[in-house]
Copies of this chain bind each other. A is one copy, B any other.
Amino acid sequence: MRREGELAAAIRGRERHLVDTLSRWVAIPSISTDPERSPDVRRSAEFLRQAALDAGFTVAEVWETAGQPSVFAQRIEDPRLPTVLIYGHHDVQPVDPVAEWEKAPFEALERDGLLLGRGTADDKGHLVMHLEALRGFLDARGQLPINLKLIAEGEEEDGSEHFQQLLAGHRDRLQADVAVISDTAMPAVDVPALTVGLRGLAYWELRVETSATDLHSGVYGGAVLNPITVLVEILAQLHDGQGRVAVPGFYDDVRELTPAERKEIADVPFDADEFAADVGAILGGEVDFSAAERRTVRPTLELCGIWGGYQGEGSKTVIPARAAAKLSSRLVPDQLADRVTGRVEAHLRRLAPAGVRIEFETISTGRWVLTSPDHPAVGAAAQVVAEVWGQPTRFVREGGSIPPVAAISEELNVPCVLLGVGLPGDRIHAPNERVVLDQLFRGTQAVGRLWERYGEMGRSGLSAPPGRPAQEPRG
């Protein structure tokens, strides 16, 4: 008891430093999708490299990719100890519409136990959580009972295009017994959970062209095709009247949920009306599934952007030459991004009137992930989370996609423990992103306990039972 109290106290002693470090890091606008922000992504990597050394990593390096830089760090205590690889990402989402932020998105604002700012929850907060847990552990104990590695990606929000290649190129240095990935959320502050499933992603752009130049709507109107009309008539046929995706074959590869799986989902406290009302949204989607199922274990086809013609003030009587949209699918077991892409593209092209010029581009894809809750590394994590939160740990599937998790699973062949402390109301990817600081503080406590538990279990104790896959998909 006395040793545990020491550790907990040392980690608790890091809490103000955590808020301070995170606030300073939020000030670096590391938006990976915006080429003009590349210097900021690099500054963010440099910030993390230094912070990792300050926290107690003995090695910290910026790793180049063909895109944005990643950061690698390690602290090797003894090769015979288990090795844990932490994953997070240091890039952030764009911030538009900027006008809807309470404060400038890159000026962290602490208020009522929250920290607001782009990246506070997704995902800088999680990385700082790990750094402070390490520093606290070392302050209390002087050394770790495990070896610790960290890989922080710089383009997770841009589709992780170069991450798998980076892993493949550094497979030796990244070798580990277990990966702890912190980029997920829990259902509520009093419903602690580990994520054991993630949806995959395919993101596309559709461009429609009906003339070589913009046209006057009086001179041409009524006699020629309008690309916005063509586009909306195509896109309106992506869903049927029951909220189902109407692309032929879209659901062909979807693994059917067992009654037990559906019950498990239904048993997690989730108030769909409150979930929607909290952000002023309107429930919708497939009528045959609950909202909790629709947002986690069912595939989707969403329109993420649309544009064409005049968007300014007042009026412009124009028939534009072109219109376009961004579409994305969340994929579930056993869908494959390539097959879904082919079906969506074929459907869109089939719907286009003769003569219309269609371009369809795949922007990014990422595989879905399923982790076995029976794996001892997952079980140990569930136990420390239950201790810290004082409630039983649920195993949940999350609706988001973390393409690098699939990449880590495939390239490094390690079990992935998805230990994240976000909450549904964190507004990640949206204005006024925030993190609940108490979740981060509890997270540092859980991480400290987890390193201790993994040390006690040793390498053999962290192995999967024979004959059972720890993780799908496998490389």
Contact = CB atoms under 8 A, between A and B. Distances in A.
Interface of A: 33-35, 93-94, 96-97, 100, 157-159, 185, 199, 201, 203, 210-226, 228-229, 231-233, 235-239, 272, 275-276, 279-286, 291-292, 294-295, 298-300, 302-321, 323, 325-326, 328, 330, 353-356, 363-364, 398-401, 424, 427-432
A428 B285 contact: no
A356 B282 contact: yes
Chain A contact residues: helix, strand, loop or mixed: loop
A309 B93 CA distance: 13
B217 A328 contact: yes
Contacts of A311: 305-307, 326
Given A235-B232, A294-B222, A309 B315 contact: no
A276 B315 contact: no
Given A229-B303, A303-B226, A356-B282, A214 B315 contact: no
Given A221-B295, A317-B304, A280 B229 contact: no
A95 B221 CA distance: 19
A316 B353 contact: no
Contact of A326 (B231, B310, B431): B310
26 contacts: A100-B213, A203-B315, A211-B279, A211-B281, A214-B429, A215-B281, A216-B430, A217-B302, A218-B398, A218-B400, A219-B400, A220-B279, A222-B286, A223-B283, A224-B281, A224-B282, A232-B236, A233-B239, A235-B236, A236-B236, A304-B310, A305-B308, A305-B309, A309-B326, A314-B363, A318-B429
Contacts of A328: 217, 221, 315, 317
B219 A159 contact: no
Instruction: Tell me which of A281, A320, A428 has the highest count of chain B C-beta atoms within 10 A of its own C-beta.
Output: A281
A28 B219 CA distance: 25
Given A229-B235, A233-B236, A285-B223, A305 B295 contact: no
Nearest to A236: B236
B316 A309 contact: no
A55 to B, nearest CB: 29
Contacts of A220: 279, 281, 295, 399
A66 to B, nearest CB: 14
Given A214-B430, A229-B302, 11 more contacts: A33-B312, A33-B314, A94-B312, A96-B312, A210-B282, A216-B400, A219-B428, A224-B284, A231-B306, A304-B310, A315-B328
A51 to B, nearest CB: 26
B229 A399 contact: no
A354 to B, nearest CB: 8
Contacts of A312: 33-34, 94, 96
B158 A314 contact: yes
Nearest to A429: B216
Given A222-B295, A300-B221, A303-B228, A279 B316 contact: no
B317 A309 contact: no
Nearest 4 interchain pairs by C-beta: A218-B400, A212-B280, A236-B236, A305-B309
For A100, A321, A364, A429, which residue has the most chain B Cβ atoms within 10 angstroms?
A429
A223 B313 CA distance: 33
Nearest to A97: B214
Given A219-B399, A281-B225, A282-B355, A232 B315 contact: no
